[in-house]
Every structure is written in C-alpha cells, then in structure tokens.
Structure 1
Amino acid sequence: MTTRDTQSEPDRPLSRRQALAAGGSLLAGAFAGCIGDGAGGGQTTGDTTDDDGPVAVASFFSFYDFARKIARGTPIEVRNLVPTGLHGHGWEPNASITREVLDADAFIHVGEDFQPWADRTIQTLEDDDADTQLINVREGVELVDLAASLDPEEEGVGEGRAQDPHFWLDPLRAKQSVDNIAEGLVALAPDHESTLRENATAYKTDVLDRIDADYQRIFEAADRDVVQLAAHNAFQYVGVRYGIQMRPLVVNLAASGDVRPSDITEAKRVIDENDIRYIGAAVFETRRPAQQLLSETAVEAYYPVTPYAGVREDWVEQGWGYEEIADNINMPTFEVVLGNTAPEDVAIDGWNERWRNFE
C-alpha cells in the first residue's frame, strides 16, 4: 500500500499514547475477558517509525480510507484496526486492539450499536477517563428505517435498532462522514487545518460526487430495477438513492446470518419473475448460497459485491480504497447483473475471468 510522507512538528510534547504505554497494557489485559479472540492488525498509513505525529485508529475500513485521504500531507498517522481479509461488522478483536485504541490520540468509529466491541471499548475509555478523542462518523447522517429493509418477521433483528447503519454505501450520505472525520482530525492537528479541510473537500468532490454520477449513469441505463444479491442486508442505501430494488438473500444485518429455506425460495421467485441471469455475491461471506442458486435456477454466474467492510490482500497490495473498490468491484458487477453490459465486455482487463463464480 502506498504511504504518504509526513511532516514533523518541532518540540512536540510527549504524546498521550507514550504516557499511557505502561498503564494501557494493564487495562487491556483486564478487558481481555470481555472481547473475542480475533487477531488484530490492519493497514497503516503515515509515519510508523517514531512518535512525531498524532495517531488516529479506525474501527472500520471505509472510514480508515476516508481518514487517510483527509490526512495526506499532515503528520497524522491513520491505522485500520480490522485485519486484512475480514468483514469489519462481525469481527471480534483481542485485547491488543483495545490497547491500540487506549494508546491512540483518536478513535474513529461508526456510532453505537454497530460494532459491539467498539461500543465496549468506548465504554472502557469513558470509565477510565481516557483522553482518546472519539470521532463518530455517523454524527448528523440521515438514516433510513431498518424495517424498510427487512421482512416483517425480521424487524426484531438488531436488538431494537430502528435504522439501517450502512449509510456509507450511498456516496452522498458518505460525504457527511468525511466532514465528521475532518472535524475530528482538525481538533487533533489544528496547525494543519487548511490541509485537512482542503483534502476533505477534494475527496467529496473528486471521489464521492464522481462515484454518485457513475452510479446514476449505471442505474438509469438499466431496463431492470431489481438486483438479486447472495449477500446479507447491507445494500439498502444504494436502492434508496438510485431507485433500485436490492434483494438480499440474508434478510438480517449480520454478515454471518443464516440462510433459511424461505430465503432461497424467495430468491428463486425473484430470479424467475425478472429473468435474472447474473447475481451478486458478497466477497467476505460464504459463496454457498450463490452456488446453490447457480445450480437450482437459470442464473449463469455470480459476481462480487462488497459493502466496503474489509479488504483482500491483493487489494491492499494495489493500494485500493473505497474509490477503487467501487470502480473495480461494485460498479462492474451492477452493470452486469442489471444487464447493461455482458460480463465479457466489462472494460477491465481480465475482470470476467477473475471474478466469474469466484471462490
């Protein structure tokens, strides 16, 4: 992954993560029994060899990516806590991740009731009166009702949450999270305010507005307004923004949610009634349901979709972020499943061969 150059601030006082280094490990050890055994260690951008700049850690890949783009040209180091290859929603970290948050200058998170481990970590920070700055990317974002994306019998999924948290799939709603991150990073490094705000403005205009325009073109060109996904219920915001029926196979919010026989039956009905030949399958979820639909319906192939919840090793090697994943994964798949483009005609070399019925 490409890393940016950093600048040093002269005579910077001892960072809070240095001051907490000894005590943080003790607190993290005490907290170990409250969280799972998942390994830690995601991507890092910035200077990792000294303590010249503040450190911001992110609980979710999309917002790590936004933050690293906003922080370019500043001494802020941004770290992704979610390990490569894992979905950021259902992941449960071990105590080392709690230690990283305790030692960081800022914690970028997705708001309450989305990542239970992040909620517990924030509670630990508050109980300990730690001075780690909290940056809630969801602050001020207009959410849609959760029930609108669920069958009536599934409305209890999510332990009482009334709204769908997956707002960042809508690039226009994602702009508010960019503003939230920028505000938090400005508070972290006020001497670099102009650079941070300029980077945030450029990202909203050059990336998110451009992605929105491309999505509009794709969905407006389609004759069909139904997309069948062998994936969990994370794509409602795309449907709401662009007037498309996103039909998830797993109707709850959990990426590891079980597929019921009734879910398969409903998917078969949608596929048959809409003459669907291609469906989307989630990159970080099991492909078994997609393979079942492939063998039991007229579907010819499945192609990848992702809610930007994690990254593969090859994506990291290529330096892919939210923008590149939109361009190389979600957009071409939507073109194909909507019937706009034949899979072999996707204008990315080797895309069909690489992603057709991928493992």
Structure 2
Amino acid sequence: MNDGPNPGESELHRITRRTALAGAGALVTGLAGCAGDASNESTGERSVAVASFFTFYDFARKVADGTPLSVDNLVPTGLHGHGWEPDPSITRDIVDADAFLHVGADFQPWADRAIRTVQDDGADTRLINVREGIELIDLADTLEEEEQVGDGKDPHFWLDPGLAKRSVDNIASGLAEIAPDYESEFDENAEDVRSKLDEIDAEWEAIFDRAERDVVFLAAHNAFEYVAQRYDATIQPLVTNLAADDDVRPADMERAQDTIADNDIRYIGAAVFEPRRPAEQLLDQTAVEAYYPVTPYAGTTEAWNDRGWGYFEIARNVNMETFKIVLDAAEPDSGFDEEWRNFE
C-alpha cells in the first residue's frame, strides 16, 4: 500500500467491513436521517473500531452509544487479554478497521506486532493508545528486567478509577477523529462514563474504609497494585510478575503460606482467568477457609455476557464483593457465597 493505491485491497476492505456490519443497516439509516451521513463519509459505511482489551472495548462501546460507530472486542470470551496470542487473522481485522484501540507498547506483544503491520502497510486504521498521557507507577523491585513494561512500569492503570477516566478521554478523542460528525455525542457519553468511574471510586473507598485488615492475599498475578496504592492497602499477589499464565514457583507458594500465617488470613482472592490449582493448594495447606473471584477486567465470561456486564457491573458484582470478604469489611453475601465460594 505504500507504493500507491491498490484497488484490490480497497475492495477487500469494503467487502470485509460490509460483512462485519451485516444487519446494522437499519440503525445506520435511522441515525443518518437525524444526524447526517455515517462517519465514513467517502463510502457511506458505518465506522468500525476494534479493541485489544475488554476494559477499553467496554468503555468505547459506551462512548459510542447512540452513534453509527460499532466497537468490537478482539479477545474471545473466556480468555485473559494480557496473555492471549491470536492467530494472524486478527491482524487482518485490525487493518480492515477504522480504528484500533490498544493499551500502549510492551503490554500485548501481538498488538505491538499488529501496529507495526498497520504502519508498514500504510493502512488508514486510526491507532488509539488509551494509555496516552497516563503516568504509570513503578513495578515491584522483585521483577526481572524481561518482565517489565517500558522502563519498569506497571501497566494496569485502569484498576484505578481516577486514571481510567483519562483513558476514556483518549477514547473519545480517537473516535472523534474517525467520526467527527458525532464528536458531541462522544463527549457527552464520555462524561457519563467518567461520572460512573467517580461513583465506582467512592464505592471502593467506602469498602476500604470499613476494612478490618489492611493486608490481603490474591492467588493471582501482579495486577492490583493500583488498587493498593489508591486506597492505602497492601495487596500481596501470588505471582509477582505481570504474566497471567506463568507457572507458580515453589518460592511463590512458600511466600504465600508465610503471608497467610503472619496475617491470620481466612479468605483469599483467586483470579477468574488464571489456573485455580494454587488457590486450591493454599486451601488445603494453610488456614485459609475459602477463596473468591477477582479479575483485572481483562476478559469476560459467557455468564457475564449473558447478564450484560461490563467494567462497572464486574466491579460491583465480582471484585467488590470479594474485597469486602478478604478485607473483613463484611460477611459474605449468601448469594455471592453460594455462586463463588471456592469456584471452579
């Protein structure tokens, strides 16, 4: 594409997009009648944005609500967006899209490769870095150099609702670049998402204010330090590096057992999209009575999809309920306990 227009490629682009948007024509037509042409004015087609991570797919679809712009989540249901390695067809989906929402360099290697392809091909896909302008915190000193992102920073900023608001601004600005006729709608929707993040922040604050302990343990990878720092708590992960699929070392289990014993921990969290075996071992080998689910909003399940859950619903119905328990801020809700206690 760098050598000039390629009619065959252009036609493939148009055909692919029409296929992806089958069934959406009625919505586009209805909106076009009251708000002008669809955002891709040169072809009259509906614009498509694809996202590399569940959280930002969810934010983007809320920002795009009520406009002709469609947002798709590239990560399949049931998989964790950090450790996933897709097949090459995903890169084609990105090249064919109007915009690609990603979490910045060094976090998802497959996304970095896709971005290079977009740039090398001269594709007109708008690259939206949701992390742009966000100051990341330092990683733990225990991490090896190859486990770090960039110059040794922790990328999981979206777990801090205050920082997540900046990503919403980046999304709204990026979408306005590909669908400028709907900039006011994007801005209005983004303000609504930011307000919801403020509400989530206040709810988290209330939970930590009621906590009877300030040390909790998660049988999960190192993804919750932003929560710990924002609400002044100590959250000890089982796996201290960033990878969600790395093996647990004997030293990790020894440290976990010591942390549980030293802090008289009865309940722990376990990651929804990571192996459950370490949590089961701690249940058998320590004084832990039960484990409950946590997730860094890196994926979704069939059940959550069926319930229409996004970032906010998962925060309230999964993470907050577990943190109430592991912080001794409240006794387990009976319904939550029945569904999630020592979950499979």
**C-alpha spacing 1:53/1:97, structure 2 compared with 1 (3 Å):** same
Is the 8 Å Cα contact of residues 17 and 102 (structure 1) preserved in structure 2? no
Is the 2:49–2:99 Cα contact (8 Å) retained in structure 1?
Answer: yes
* Conserved 8 A contact 2:221-2:240: yes
Kept in 2: contact 1:56–1:105 (CA 8 A): yes
Task: Give distance in 2, aligned partners of 1:145 and 1:122.
Answer: 25
* Partner Cα separation in structure 2 for residue 318 and residue 81 of structure 1: 20
Contact 1:280 1:303 in 2 (8 A): yes
The percentage of aligned residue pairs carrying the same residue is 62
- Alignment TM-score, normalising by the size of structure 2: 0.88
Q: 1:47 aligns with which of 9, 16, 24?
A: 24
Structure 1: gaps (5+ residues): 1-15, 26-42
Q: Is the 8 A contact 1:233 1:252 kept in 2?
A: yes
Tell me the distance in 1 between the aligned counterparts of 2:322 and 2:267: 9
Runs of 4+ in 1 over 4 A off after TM superposition: 16-19, 48-51
Residues 141-160 of structure 1 deviation map (CA, whole Å, 9 limit, x = unaligned): 111012xx342x63542376
Counterpart for residue 129 of structure 1: 122
How far off its partner does 1:48 sit?
7.7
Name which of 228, 237, 251 aligns with 1:262. Answer: 251
- 1:107 corresponds in structure 2 to 100
**Counterpart position of 1:199:** 189
Answer whether contact 1:20 1:103 (CA < 8 A) is retained. no
SS in 2 for 1:309: coil
5 Å-filtered alignment, 1:39-78, equals: 47=24, 52-78=45-71
Q: 1:21 to 1:340 in 2, by over 3 A?
A: farther
Q: Which residue of 1 aligns with 2:266?
A: 277
In the alignment, the residues of structure 2 paired with residue 142 and residue 264 of structure 1 have an alpha-carbon distance, to the nearest angstrom, of 32
Q: CA RMSD in A?
A: 2.4
Which residue of structure 2 lines up, in the alignment, with residue 328 of structure 1? 317
Among 113, 125, 147, the residue aligned to 1:120: 113
Residue of structure 1 in register with 2:242 after alignment: 253
Return the match for 1:239 from 201, 217, 228: 228
Give the secondary-structure state (helix, strand or coil) at the position aligned to 1:202: helix
| Distance of 1:328 and 1:269 partners within structure 2 | 30
1:96 Cα deviation (Å)?
1.7
State the secondary structure of the residue aligned to 1:230. strand
- 2:36 is matched with none
Task: Confirm whether residue 358 of structure 1 aligns to residue 335 of structure 2.
Answer: no
5+ residue gaps, structure 2, are: 1-5, 29-43
Aligned to 1:87, the other structure's residue is in SS state coil
2:78 alignment partner, one of 85, 89, 93:
85
Q: TM-score with structure 1 length normalisation?
A: 0.84
Cα separation, 2, equivalents of 1:97 and 1:128: 15
**1:276-301 CA-partner distances (Å, limit 9, x unpaired):** 10000000000000001000100000
